[in-house]
């Protein structure tokens, strides 16, 4: 077995371990903690130049104890920003629909919430001026740890071929900025992380 394949397996196992630890930490958060963090995150994110100047933003609806996005989605929508939300396809790829308010969100698989309107196609994300990504951690290089489903790996691969790549921003809790995220060949770094403590940018 080559060194590379051994390394890949090690990184995959390390990712699984780190995911478990981070998800457990999120489960221990109280509803009040999560709500307070969501309000601060919305304020911090709205101050980002990348969002202040954006006409179209790809985002997502937070569920459970994920860093909250609901207040941010409403604020962007109220500004007149076109907000794209993901729709999970059977093959784990993502289609997109427009956010039209919480009353137009419907329950979907895996406990997710999706827009009830027209589907715009997987390539709709290529028209985004900024992309907000879910994640569990990010490190000092901007490497992001996702949940492991692979949906956003496909989105990021699609965006890497775009003529102009939009800034990639991940929303996290403070303790989810870690020393190192195990990296696999398909992983793409993000440009910035927003936590309740502030914004950190990474060199592209």
Q: What is the CATH number of the domain that holds 191?
A: 3.40.50.10420
The whole-number pLDDT of residue 182 equals 87
**Structural domain boundaries enclosing 11:** 3-201
Rg (CA), the chain: 16
| Cα(49)–Cα(192) distance, integer angstroms | 11
Q: What is this structure's pTM?
A: 0.89
**Token pair for residue 33?**
């903690």
Summarised one tens digit per residue, pLDDT across range 46-67 is: 999 999 989 999 999 999 999 9
Residue 115 to residues 29, 109, 197, Cα–Cα distance (Å): 27, 13, 30
Using the predicted structure, report yes or no on whether residue 185 has a pLDDT greater than 70. yes
Using the predicted structure, report yes or no on whether residue 204 has a pLDDT greater than 60. no
Q: Report how far Cα 73 is from the mean position of its chain's Cα atoms.
A: 13
Please enumerate in sequence order all residues whose Cβ is within 8 A of that of 22, keeping only pairs 6 or more positions apart, or say none: 136, 137, 145, 176
**Token pair for residue 109?**
């698989």
Which residue reads 């809790």 in tokens?
A: 173
Number of domains in the chain: 1
The whole-number pLDDT of residue 147 equals 83
The DSSP call for residue 110 is G
Phi and psi at 171, nearest 5°, equal: -105, 125
Helix, coil or strand: residue 197? coil
Using the predicted structure, report yes or no on whether residue 12 has a pLDDT greater than 90. no
Segment 81-108 shows an average pLDDT of 95
Summarised one tens digit per residue, pLDDT across range 89-102 is: 999 999 999 999 99
């Amino acid at each position: 077995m080559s060194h590379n394949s051994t390394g890949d397996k090690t990184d995959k196992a390390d990712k699984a371990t780190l995911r478990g630890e981070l998800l457990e930490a999120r489960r221990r958060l109280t509803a009040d903690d999560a709500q307070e963090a969501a309000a601060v995150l919305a304020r911090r994110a709205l101050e980002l130049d990348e969002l202040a100047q954006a006409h179209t933003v790809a985002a997502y609806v937070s569920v459970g104890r994920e860093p909250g996005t609901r207040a941010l989605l409403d604020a962007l929508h109220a500004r007149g920003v076109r907000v794209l939300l993901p729709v999970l396809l059977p093959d784990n790829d993502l289609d997109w629909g427009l956010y039209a308010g919480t009353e137009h969100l419907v329950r979907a698989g895996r406990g997710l919430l999706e827009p009830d309107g027209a589907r715009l196609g997987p390539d709709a994300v290529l028209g985004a001026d900024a992309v907000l990504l879910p994640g569990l951690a990010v490190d000092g290089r901007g490497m992001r740890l996702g949940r492991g489903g692979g949906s956003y790996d496909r989105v990021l691969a699609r965006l890497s071929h775009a003529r102009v790549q939009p800034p990639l921003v991940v929303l996290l809790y403070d303790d989810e900025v870690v020393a190192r995220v195990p990296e696999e060949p398909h992983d793409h770094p993000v440009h910035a992380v927003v936590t309740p403590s502030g914004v950190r940018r990474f060199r592209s």
